[in-house]
Amino acid sequence: MFAQLIQDPAKINYVENPAKPPEIDAWGQLPKLASTFDHVDGLFYFTYIVCIFFFVVILGALLFSVVKYRRKTWDQPAASNVTHNTPLEVVWTIVPLIIVMIMFAWGFKGCMDMTVVPEAASRNTYKATAKQWNWTFTYPNHATPSFNEVWIEVNKPVQFLCESTDVLHAFFIPVMRVKRDIVPGRFQSVWFHPIEIGEFHLFCAEYCGDDHSRMYAKVHVVSAEEFATAPWDKWDDTTPALAAKSGESLYKNLCQTCHSVNGTPAVGPTWKGLFTKQGDTFVGRQREVIEGGAKKTITVDEAYITESVRKPDQKKVAESPYDKNNMTAFPDLDERRIKGLIEYMKSLAAAQ
């Protein structure tokens, strides 16, 4: 019934994050693909119906009174001087109180279910680090993290310990019916039990700055066999072209929110022109930077890029507004990934 009012998911541009949008139901609700937290939908529909009911009753009474008791001539005196009605007032205090207490008890039970993590989920604990504006996931018993994409095993309860390195964010996977604010300086845990294989969205659900709306990640729920192959730990750099391709997908996940590759200004400087191709060699551009308060000119090379990724504040680009904008540091990116990003930057020059 309400589905038509909701934007058709097929028409939304999912190019950057092509997780297939699951079908929504007649209420505009996504399917629930976790065996946990049944109360979420119950409470949602209950609140929804209560709201619609009171909207109709109150607005109906209001419209009825406006028409029925309107002043018919300009000098018509007030016919009644009722100041109160005790039984009526008691009813409209007690009834909403009861309804609100039901919502409270229901919500409190749900809150306890979500925050008390069962043993099975705590044995499968991931870490989700939120920062402006991306997600880093680290896996149980696996050294390589993944960025803006996370793989979890189907039919296995999972816990995410969430932390933020800067401002407030929120961990929200609609199809799993979990949402939790992430408060800087503390770990917030969420858990759930996924029951269907697929690709789903994870959103940041707390306004966290300019690119908040682009701070989403892809959740891959995969079979145990596929999970065992550690799909996030594939990094193809057998040839420079493949390394550039791997670098490009990492760029889309991690850097695109702040860097364009076509010259468009963004939070950070464009990568267009970082390298130019002269014959068969790539030459880095000249760049004026501020290091320790002093301006100097350097040539862009692998060392400068590596440092820009790991310690972006070391040398700030001396050009407004980039000298004032801050870049998130990525200390977890290993050599191979940084090499891939550099290959990608060089491939931009080759394409010109």
Which is it for the CA torsion 245, 247, 250, 252, positive or negative? negative
Shortest distance, position 194 Cβ to ligand HEC, whole Å: 28
Task: Kindly identify the residues of this chain, within the stretch 127-146, that bind ligand HEC according to CB under 6 A.
Answer: 132
Looking at 114, 152, 175, 204, which residue binds Cu ion (CB under 5 A)? 204
Question: Which does residue 322 bind out of Cu ion, ligand HEC, none, counting CB within 5 to 8 angstroms by kind?
Answer: ligand HEC
Is there binding between residue 349 and Cu ion (CB under 5 A)? no
Question: Which does residue 158 bind out of Cu ion, ligand HEC, none, counting CB within 5 to 8 angstroms by kind?
Answer: none
Question: Which does residue 259 bind out of ligand HEC, Cu ion, none, counting CB within 5 to 8 angstroms by kind?
Answer: ligand HEC
Residue ranges in 148-261 assigned as alpha helix (H): 224-228, 240-250
Nearer CB in complex with ligand HEC: 40/305: 305
Number of residues that bind Cu ion (CB under 5 A): 4
Is there binding between residue 244 and ligand HEC (CB under 6 A)? no
Q: Angle CA(81)–CA(86)–CA(90) in degrees, nearest 5?
A: 140
Using the CB atoms, write b or e for 153-182: b if 16+ within 10 Å. bbeebbbbbbbbeebebbbbbbbbbbbbeb
As given in the structure block, the two tokens for residue 37 are 């937290």
Question: Which does residue 208 bind out of Cu ion, ligand HEC, none, counting CB within 5 to 8 angstroms by kind?
Answer: Cu ion
236: phi then psi, degrees, rounded to nearest 5: -85, 110
Please state, in angstroms and rounded to a whole number, the distance separating the CA atoms of residues 213 and 62: 39
Looking at 154, 202, 222, 267, which residue binds ligand HEC (CB under 6 A)? 267
Nearest to 135 by CA among 216, 16, 223, 256: 216
Task: Kindly identify the residues of this chain, within the stretch 301-320, that bind ligand HEC according to CB under 6 A.
Answer: 305, 308-309, 312, 316-317
Is there binding between residue 208 and Cu ion (CB under 5 A)? yes
Non-local CB neighbours of 63 within 8 Å, separated by 6+ positions: none
Residues of this chain that bind ligand HEC (CB under 6 A): 132, 254-255, 257-259, 267-269, 274, 287, 305, 308-309, 312, 316-317, 322, 325-328, 330, 341
